[in-house]
Amino acid sequence: MAKVRTTDLLENLDLELISGEDGLHRPITTSDLSRPGLELAGFFDYYPKERVQLLGMTELTFFEKLHPEEKKTRMERLCDDITPAIVIARGLEVPEELIESSERHAVPVMRSKLTTTRLSSKLTSYLEKMLAPTTAVHGVLVDIYGVGVLITGQSGVGKSEAALDLVKRGHRLVADDCVEIRQEDNDTLVGSSPELIEHLLEIRGLGIINVMTLFGAGAIRGSKRITLNVHLELWDSKKQYDRLGIEEDKMQIIDSEITKITVPVRPGRNLAVIIEVAAMNFRLKRLGVNTAQEFTDKLASVINERDPEQM
């Protein structure tokens, strides 16, 4: 099923439909746009017909200088069977030849009052957002001091309870149980909640609660960039856990990687405080303050001072 169709542009970008209404169902498969200046001059060898075609003042001014027969021929070739839409900028008058060809081939022609540059930027931003690769992850997403923390772990390990405690401490819930993630700009992961469970938190023994109703609008957030993964797992006495914080694991989501911290869970550990401190420490590392590395360097310096032969 197509993620974006031409009708979505019409409904979401304040465009005016001029002709070609029968083609509003056409799928849009790429965020790239085309300004067919060379095509209007007659060069169709590399015509990117699968893109949305954008016509501005330059293209239409040149088009008006063409011979009437050339106008018809160029518009016939411009309106391809797979072209999703042709958009006119600046509220310019639409050539009659384009209207006739678009009706004949069911290619939607739409018009915007925006300048060509602004319209191009707006179209590209919308299409990149809608066509971005997406996935869903079982976990909880919380905004902690501006850090998007994805809390993962097996069912029943305490993810939602930790999120509830974090919300009470003033942080903001983005999603519980299922986090929808889209990849933007190749390395940016943005998480949000499915509409059905937005603002809801499930606590075993208590049931489903509405975080916004209980704690106010300041306790929730619609979406957040994900930069840290805190993975909760039941304490395993046979496993060696990182005690210094030197090693840095990674979690891959789609084509991007984020820092992963594994936190063992057992009675008596305050998970909310640990996750909160993990987010604060992650921020410090991004600012260039690495406490674990500083401690390791000092320790190595002390050892070398006491045993010069090892230097």
What pLDDT sits at residue 217?
93
- 79 burial via Cβ count (<10 Å: 0-12, 13-18, 19+): buried
Angular region, 177: left φ>0, alpha ψ -120 to 50, beta rest: left
In 3D, which of 88, 60, 85 has the Cα closest to residue 74? 60
CB neighbourhood size of 250 (10 A): 10
Question: Does the active-site annotation cover 165?
Answer: no
Question: Does the active-site annotation cover 243?
Answer: yes
Return the bridge partners of 175, or none.
141
Residues annotated within the binding site for Mg(2+) are 160, 202
Q: How many CA atoms lie within 13 A of 300 on its CB side?
A: 7
What pLDDT sits at residue 187?
83
The fold adopted by the segment(s) 134-296 is Rossmann fold (3.40.50)
Residues annotated within the binding site are 153-160, 202
* Annotated catalytic residue within 113, 129, 138, 286: 138
What pLDDT sits at residue 119?
96
Q: Write out the two tokens for 269.
A: 């550990």
* Annotated catalytic residue within 238, 243, 266, 306: 243
DSSP 176-230: SSEEEEEEETTTEEEEE--GGGTTEEEETTTEEEEHHHHH-GGGB-SEEE--EEE
* Annotated catalytic residue within 5, 26, 71, 159: 159
Question: Does the active-site annotation cover 25?
Answer: no
SS3 17: strand
Q: Write out the two tokens for 246.
A: 């030197």
The fold adopted by the segment(s) 6-131 is 3.40.1390
Domains of the chain, by residue range, sit at 6-131, 134-296
How far are the Cα atoms of 142, 161, 232 from residue 209, in angstroms, in the given order?
A: 16, 12, 22
pTM above 0.85, yes or no: no
Dihedral of the CA atoms 133, 135, 139, 141 (nearest 10)? 30
* Annotated catalytic residue within 8, 177, 283, 285: 177
Q: Write out the two tokens for 275.
A: 């996750």
Question: Does the active-site annotation cover 283?
Answer: no
Residues annotated within the binding site for ATP are 153-160
What pLDDT sits at residue 1?
47
SS3 255: coil
What pLDDT sits at residue 307?
64
- What is the sign, positive or negative, of the torsion defined by CA atoms of 278, 219, 234, 249? negative
Mean pLDDT by 10 residues, the chain (311 residues): 84 94 94 95 94 96 95 95 95 95 96 95 92 93 96 92 95 96 88 94 92 94 95 84 75 92 88 94 85 77 71 48
**CB-CB contact of 225 with 189 (8 Å):** yes
